[in-house]
Homo-oligomer: A and B are copies of this chain.
Amino acid sequence: MAEVAARAGVSAMTVSRALKSDGAVSEETRGRILATVEELGYVLDLSAGALSSKRTGFVAAVIPSINNSNFSDTARGITEAIEGQGLQMLLGYTDYDMEKEEQLVRAMLTRRPDGIIVTDGRHTPKARRMLQSAGIPVVETWDMPADPIDHVVGFSNAEASRALVHRLYQKGYRNIAFIGGASRRDTRGADRRLGYKRAVEELGLPVGRTISFGNPPISMQQGGEAIVQLIEQWPDVDAAVCVSDLSAFGAIMECHRRGWAVPGRIAVAGFGDFEVSRCSWPRITTVAVDCRNIGLEAGRVMLRAIADVRDGRRPGPETLIVPFEVIEREST
């Protein structure tokens, strides 16, 4: 930067100002400086700027999986919201593992992000403590935490799942099962199972029709294996609620292969409104959440929070509940 400054006949400070959009520099000087920058191929070093300004321009985002289109949509939403504001997303994934989340949070805080967005309402005690004492805005998403750390942009997975079961009941199904992961690592999956459980209980339906299969993320293939197991174990089941659309799809395809009509022999519903659910045949009944919008809103909450910190304001945490919708299609 000193070199650019010398060449343009100004001080380094003026170069610095010329390179920020809001810098107070005369148009003429800015032009000259930008030309010099171009000429020398100079690239600003934000890692140095971060040190003096005490703002890195990073927003850390922690998602369970980068391969799950629901969460990558959320990541896209976050990017959309913050890019253009001079912020850059620092993305990491936990593989649905709270221990890994803790490590990741630790690693990210080491980079001194201006804020952090996590995709869960539950954390290890250490992770929680780190998030609380980091001194930056925190947004928890995709969940309704019982005891929020700071801001929240989410919905109740249990409520959504419950609503889906009720819808199936209205349609006439009376023996409804749940297919989900075997591990409790996936807290959202656990919440969906809980919602299912509540619904069958309050509807007076047979309970305990639950197949647990594999570790998250539950794959299409596991859905296929699970539905076979389900039908063997409880032949009278007439509908299956799957923890996600992917397992629902796998289940339906396995049914096709075996000549079981969907619906007819068994109805299958999913969760998440993945593209495959809209394009497969039959199309899959599911719960749609606007994943990208969760990211957008989380990003916006983060922008406001960062601006508040910058300007010394101290407003309370925001809680945003995003809507979900049960979408009925041909699979039920």
Given A73-B67, A253-B279, do A47 and B221 touch, yes or no (CB 8 Å)? no
Per-position binary interface string of chain A over residues 195-228, scored 1 when its CB falls under 8 Å from any chain B CB and 0 otherwise: 0000000000000000000000001110010000
A22 touches B (CB below 8 Å) = no
Centre residue among A66, A72, A224, A256 by max chain B CB count within 10 A:
A66
Q: Which of chain B's residues has its CB closest to A249's CB?
A: B279
Q: Which of chain B's residues has its CB closest to A253's CB?
A: B281
A50 touches B (CB below 8 Å) = yes
A69-94 contacts to B, CB under 8 A, are 69, 72-73, 75-76, 79, 88-91, 93
* A249 in complex: contacting residue of B93, B129, B221, B276, CB < 8 Å: B276
Classify the secondary structure of A's interface with B. Answer: helix
Given A43-B109, A47-B56, do A91 and B91 touch, yes or no (CB 8 Å)? yes
Residues of B within 8 A of A75 (CB): 66
Residue count of chain A within 8 Å CB distance of chain B: 49
Find out whether the CB atom of A107 lies under 8 angstroms from the CB atom of B88. Answer: yes
Find out whether the CB atom of A51 lies under 8 angstroms from the CB atom of B43. Answer: no
Residues of B within 8 A of A93 (CB): 76, 79
Per-position binary interface string of chain A over residues 29-47, scored 1 when its CB falls under 8 Å from any chain B CB and 0 otherwise: 0000000000001011111
Find out whether the CB atom of B43 lies under 8 angstroms from the CB atom of A106. Answer: yes
Given A219-B275, A249-B279, A257-B281, do A47 and B45 touch, yes or no (CB 8 Å)? no
A304 touches B (CB below 8 Å) = no
Q: Which of chain B's residues has its CB closest to A61's CB?
A: B91
Find out whether the CB atom of B67 lies under 8 angstroms from the CB atom of A110. Answer: no
Find out whether the CB atom of B56 lies under 8 angstroms from the CB atom of A275. Answer: no
Find out whether the CB atom of B281 lies under 8 angstroms from the CB atom of A256. Answer: yes
Given A56-B47, A72-B72, do A279 and B224 touch, yes or no (CB 8 Å)? yes
Question: Could you tell me which A residues sit within 8 Å of B by CB distance?
Answer: 41, 43-48, 50-51, 56, 66-67, 69, 72-73, 75-76, 79, 88-91, 93, 106-107, 109-112, 129-130, 133-134, 219-221, 224, 246, 249-250, 253, 256-257, 275-276, 278-281
What are 24 pairs between A and B in contact, CB < 8 Å? A41-B133, A43-B130, A44-B110, A45-B112, A46-B112, A47-B47, A47-B111, A66-B72, A66-B75, A66-B76, A79-B93, A88-B90, A219-B275, A219-B279, A220-B275, A220-B278, A220-B279, A221-B279, A224-B279, A249-B276, A250-B279, A253-B279, A256-B281, A276-B276
